[in-house]
Amino acid sequence: MEAIGPWRQRLEDTTYAPIEHTSKVYWAWLAFLLAVISWGGYAYYVQLRDGLIVTGMRDRISWGFYISNFVFFIGISHAGTLISAILRVSKAGWRTPVTRMAEFITVVALCCGAIFPIIDLGRPDRLQNVILYGRWQSPIIWDVVAITTYLTASITYLGLPMIPDLAIFRDRTTGWRKWLYSVLAVGWIGNTRQRSMLATIIATMMILIIPIAVSVHTVVSWIFAMNLRVGWNSTIFGAFFVAGAIFSGVATLVIVMAILRKIYHLEEYILEKHFIYLGYLLAAMALIMIYGNLSEYITTGYKLEAGEEFHFRELFLGQFAGYYWYYFIGGLVIPPLLILMPWTRNIWGVVVAAFLIDVAMWIERYFIVVATLRVPLMPYEPRNYGPTWVEWSIIAASFALFGLLITIFVKVFPLLAIWEITEQREAAMESPAALPAPATAKHGLAIEHGGQS
């Protein structure tokens, strides 16, 4: 195995490279994202000027794309909690190269998701009334408190393990960057006392953030489940939403990992095994989601209370049948097959499975919201919902914002957890039994060629 000194220097150089070098492609990508966001901003201006009449939402179907997107983004924020916190607790050593990506996906997704309840308001200037005059009996207030707490905890949990790496960047930079990293590194010099304090604080945070994360998506589900509407009146929505959040969160992490690995030449550190291990997790979550769907719809369909027959026909045979069957087959059945079959159990197989899952989980959020609201509460004709250009533009802008925040993050902050990866490497060198198997050309992981572009 290569000596730790040259190996660590290469790791630091690879992590610092995105900050040191900026290509024309980067600026072009940034300009594209800003253009999409600007168009979305114009669409929102039109909505503010003319009111929600410019959307497809009406009094009978009062939630649409915006709330679907809100639930989706809050869901994928679970990537950081699962991969970082839970795997830290379980001492899974393979997680170290991907934890930083998982943690910043959590923060970025929360920031993108939290703006959608505001966008959905016809009068966003009345947001202050939720805080000043909100009723604690309302699940909406519970949601505000849960998301605010989760965002605060996630930013803290992202920043704490980054301190030693920020100190490394502080010592390599000059000018305003050195000032920025000096402030964020909070005087880190890496002595025994500081390391002990940091380990204690991280351990405390990783214990706290797991129940906070679970509570967030449980509370999001209660916005729907705490009423008597057909399709939402369910006692397992909390568990169902948490499982779906982990499912879509891990899928998003896989996609982001694959993109950043390719762009920033991280093949030496993010290995094929990381994709396969996350793929196994996706396959397990797919089975849980299949079980949840069967449990929910079999028990509801067996009783078939008033309004349920209409909901079922719309979902399985009618207007939403295409969405539902893609979700079930394309999002829950095909992905685990791709992951578990030997000839597709590779990086691209897992990435394709993750993409299918993310699309399916967004669609699931859509028909949970819209298909349920379409069920008539009184004997009148059911209304249809169709998003307008305003809604499409704002949704596109939200995904562009997600990409923009990630693009900016990798340009300012360390993409890999240098100190954690180094500690794992040192532990492996001390324990020959823990050394990784030799890399092969098949995997593109040969140590002697790693990190070179």
Considering only CA atoms, which of 128, 80, 71 is closest in space to residue 103? 80
Phi and psi at 407, nearest 5°, equal: -60, -40
pLDDT at position 420: 84
Q: Which amino acid is at 127?
A: L
**Better pLDDT: 145 or 447:** 145
63/119 Cα distance (integer angstroms): 11
Encoded tokens for 90: 């379980």
As a whole number, mean pLDDT of residues 85-106 equals: 80
Encoded tokens for 418: 């240098």
As a whole number, mean pLDDT of residues 400-409 equals: 95
Considering only CA atoms, which of 99, 78, 85 is closest in space to residue 220? 78
As a whole number, mean pLDDT of residues 102-111 equals: 91
Please, what is the end-to-end C-alpha distance for the chain in angstroms?
Answer: 21
3-class secondary structure, 444: coil
| Mean pLDDT (the chain, rounded) | 87
pLDDT at position 452: 38
Burial class (CB in 10 A: 0-12, 13-18, 19+), 160: middle
**Better pLDDT: 432 or 51:** 51
Burial class (CB in 10 A: 0-12, 13-18, 19+), 236: middle
Maximum Cα–Cα distance across the chain: 76
CB 352 within 8 A of CB 330: no
Taking only the tens place, the pLDDT of each residue in 410-431 is: 999 999 888 888 877 777 777 6
Q: Which amino acid is at 296?
A: E
Taking only the tens place, the pLDDT of each residue in 341-377 is: 999 999 999 999 999 999 999 999 999 999 999 888 8
pLDDT at position 433: 52
- Asked if residue 445 has pLDDT above 90, the reply is no
Inter-axis angle of helices 347-373 and 237-263, nearest 10: 140
CB atoms within 10 A of CB 60: 17
The pTM for the full model equals 0.89
| Residue at token pair 């503010």 | 48
| Residue at token pair 């880190």 | 188
- Asked if residue 438 has pLDDT above 50, the reply is no
Taking only the tens place, the pLDDT of each residue in 314-344 is: 899 988 999 999 999 999 999 999 999 999 9
Taking only the tens place, the pLDDT of each residue in 297-308 is: 898 888 887 778
As a whole number, mean pLDDT of residues 291-301 equals: 89
| Residue at token pair 């399985």 | 316
Phi and psi at 336, nearest 5°, equal: -65, -30
Model confidence at 446, pLDDT cuts 50, 70, 90, reads very low
CB 379 within 8 A of CB 304: no
- Asked if residue 24 has pLDDT above 70, the reply is yes
**CA 97 → CA 239, 444, 446, distances in Å?**
29, 17, 17
**CA 183 → CA 108, 158, 412, distances in Å?**
22, 16, 14
Model confidence at 450, pLDDT cuts 50, 70, 90, reads very low
% of the chain surpassing 70 pLDDT:
93
164/144 Cα distance (integer angstroms): 33
Considering only CA atoms, which of 127, 123, 103, 101 is closest in space to residue 114? 127
As a whole number, mean pLDDT of residues 222-248 equals: 88
CB 413 within 8 A of CB 3: no
Phi and psi at 236, nearest 5°, equal: -105, 10
Question: What domains are defined for the chain?
Answer: 4-449 (1.20.1630.10)
3-class secondary structure, 126: helix
Taking only the tens place, the pLDDT of each residue in 110-150 is: 999 999 999 998 888 888 888 888 888 888 888 888 899 99
pLDDT at position 443: 39
Taking only the tens place, the pLDDT of each residue in 45-94 is: 999 999 999 999 988 888 999 999 999 999 898 777 767 777 777 666 77
Considering only CA atoms, which of 127, 71, 28, 65 is closest in space to residue 248? 71
Q: Where are the alpha helices (DSSP H) in 374-417?
A: 389-412
3-class secondary structure, 450: coil
Q: CA quadruple 92, 95, 100, 105: dihedral positive or negative?
A: negative
